[in-house]
């Protein structure tokens, strides 16, 4: 970003905002203290949680999930990927239970990085693709969190779409928008 600004010979004050868009299902979990991911990002095409999704369907969870999220149970969505990371990365669940971990899709990760860790946010359209957000309330859903064994403490704040969420920590701060 700094290279582009320098190459174009513009001032950060001339930038209205840094707009972030992303693939909504790519999942990242990182340590809030170190800022480092605890595992590689798991992209939307990854099917490692397909067997768990089959278990949820066999338990009859499809109607509940469909009613609350508007989604079908599928490994495509980030909620099952979050559960997989917490269950399979050594120390991840314990760190999450202590409030040390943060979860998000690429928009959340970039906002967090660009703000120097001040922003842990996502917009409602990204949140709605996690299998964890109740689309009727616009809030993270406790029943879905229990079902996917995911602590609320790792989740970003859900904001509206198309707004400025905060500022970069660059020498000349710029607005961050999703």
Does residue 95 contact residue 154 with C-beta atoms inside 8 Å?
A: no
Contact status, residue 79 vs residue 148, Cβ threshold 8 Å: yes
Instruction: Give the position of tokens 């009613």.
Output: 67
What's the pTM? 0.93
83: tokens are 């559960």
Cα–Cα distances in angstroms (integers) from residue 3 to residues 19, 22, 59, 63, in the given order = 17, 22, 52, 50
pLDDT value for 21: 77
Spell out the per-residue pLDDT of the chain, length 178, in tens. Answer: 778 888 998 988 888 888 887 778 999 999 999 999 999 999 999 999 999 999 999 999 999 999 999 999 999 999 999 999 999 999 999 999 999 999 999 999 999 999 999 999 999 999 999 999 999 999 999 999 999 999 999 999 999 988 899 999 988 899 998 7
**Model pLDDT, residue 34:** 96
> Would you give the DSSP letter of residue 147?
H
In what helix (H) or strand (E) does residue 65 lie, and over which residues does it extend?
helix 62-69
- Of the CA atoms within 13 Å of residue 137, those in its CB half-sphere come to 10
């Amino acid at each position: 970003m700094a290279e582009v600004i320098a190459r174009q010979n513009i001032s950060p004050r001339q930038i209205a905002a840094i707009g972030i868009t992303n693939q909504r299902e790519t999942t990242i979990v990182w340590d809030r203290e170190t800022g480092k991911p605890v595992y590689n990002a798991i992209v939307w095409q990854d099917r490692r949680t397909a067997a768990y999704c089959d278990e949820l369907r066999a338990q009859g969870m499809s109607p509940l999930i469909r009613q609350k999220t508007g989604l079908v149970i599928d490994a495509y969505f980030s909620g099952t990927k979050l559960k997989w990371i917490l269950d399979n990365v050594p120390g991840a669940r314990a760190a999450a239970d202590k409030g040390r971990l943060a979860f998000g899709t690429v928009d959340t990760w970039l906002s967090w990085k660009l703000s120097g860790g001040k922003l842990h946010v996502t917009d409602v359209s990204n949140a709605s693709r996690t299998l964890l957000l109740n689309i009727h309330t616009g809030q993270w859903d406790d029943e879905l969190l229990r079902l996917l064994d995911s602590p609320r403490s790792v989740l970003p704040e859900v904001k509206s779409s198309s707004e400025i969420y905060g500022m970069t920590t660059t020498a000349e701060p710029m607005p961050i928008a999703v």
